[in-house]
Amino acid sequence: EAHQENAKSVQTEASEQSPKNWDESEVSTWLKSIGVKKQYIEKLYEEEVDGQILLALNEDFLKTKICMKAGPALLIIQKRDELLNSLEKPLEKKNMHATVCGHHDSLR
């Protein structure tokens, strides 16, 4: 339960907030900010793509399920990875691993 509190303290700084905690409308706002077309943003919203799903999805999902063109699909993946990289640097690595390590044990 320690990491519950960790999540709460992260939410106080909205701009530095991990996409993991975003809801659908925050995802839409981010998509708009990176220049994704309105029709795709609306489709992703309809499909209830929130932050957790944004982190999990891949190019194939965007192309097959959202019917996106390869270009915008690639853009989203690229910008999402950039976002994650920029979020990871200022945060203490220890905190990141505390919440993430459970899922990534297989990758070690």
| Domain boundary assignment for the chain | 17-102
pTM for the predicted model, two decimal places? 0.67
Q: Which structure tokens are listed for 64?
A: 């097959």
Which pLDDT score, from 0 to 100, does residue 30 have? 98
**Cα separation of 66 and 104, whole Å?**
27
Q: Which structure tokens are listed for 78?
A: 């690229």
Superfamily of domain 17-102: Transcription Factor, Ets-1 (1.10.150.50)
For the cut 60, the answer to whether the pLDDT of residue 37 exceeds it is: yes
Higher pLDDT, residue 8 or 30: 30
The percentage of the chain sitting over the pLDDT mark of 70, rounded to a whole number, equals 68
